[in-house]
Amino acid sequence: MASSADFGCSGGCGSIPSNGAPAIIFTIVQNGSGIQLQGLSNITLAPSRTYLVEYNAEFSTPLTGRVVSAELRLNGSLVPGSQTSSFPTAMPPGQNTPTASVSGGVIFNTPSIPNPSILQLVGFPPIGTTGTNFSSVNIRVTDITDYGSVSLTRNNAAIYGYGYVDVAYNEAVPFLEAEVVNGTGISFSAAAPTIISLAPNATYFAAYNFIECPLLAGLPVRVQFTLNDQSLFQSLSVAPPLVDGNSRSGGAGSAVFNTGAGVNQLKLINTNLETIKFVAANVNILQIG
């Protein structure tokens, strides 16, 4: 089994001074020994390997309209292509702290020295603004070095849906059909449009994106995966609030997770108390162990 891991934090994950700071994280899922957490911010990686890393983070700022940025650093240096900037922070309904989120990802090689390499997710505050913090963080890391000899066509699928569909609180987003299915470890049927069935005792990497009309101004839309109706909190994504509830917004998230024995059902859930009108949603999923 290739090494993979999921790291995350919620409810306060570190303050961000003017010169930037790494996020505080904890281990959620770990497979293999090539990816480990050292301390509260350093992810150790094996030398001379190829990694796929995706992240999402939510920030809070003392004032609205502020842009926060994030990047991955390997051994203290920027990983090219990993930099992202947030939407301007806005005040979510019922809260008193402006927030915004970012998502990013990259594929890179680790050098032979140092051993191990150190990966960090580093945030940077708006210029001239103090009091910026990481509110929540998720980082997913997968060693893809050996996939040249271990065929990924064994078990993977691409599943999509579109059309204006109302999805109530804690209900699943429906899909239309699977555009691509390889292998037997992932199955989908339009007869049960909200359920993606997975093999037992396996490791999966799943990514999703969605477009929605919140129908309410100023509402950030929160979506995440569940496995057997248990939340995969590392997959949480938040679409930014809009001044016009009839406009479209969207988001993306992903997770590395393990299935258990027996039946395993993956769903994409609307976690808002309000009913949300979804325009489109897609899931790409890959068995990695």
Residue 130 is predicted with a pLDDT of: 85
**173 pLDDT tier (thresholds 50, 70, 90):** very high
Residue 120 is predicted with a pLDDT of: 97
Residue 1: is its pLDDT beyond 60? no
Question: Residue 36: which H helix or E strand, with range?
Answer: strand 35-38
What pTM does this model have?
0.72
pLDDT tens per residue across span 229-265: 999 988 888 887 776 666 777 788 888 899 999 999 9
SS3 content of the chain, % helix, strand, coil (to 5): 5, 55, 45
Residue 245 is predicted with a pLDDT of: 60
DSSP code, position 174: P
The full set of domains in the chain, from first to last, is 4-147 (2.60.120.40), 151-287 (2.60.120.40)
pLDDT tens per residue across span 51-87: 889 998 889 999 888 888 899 999 999 988 788 887 7
Instruction: Tell me the C-alpha distance between 285 and 77, whole Å.
Output: 31
- Backbone φ and ψ of 24, nearest 5°: -85, 130
Looking up tokens 């094996």 gives 46
Residue 80 is predicted with a pLDDT of: 83
Neighbours of 158 (CB within 10 A): 17
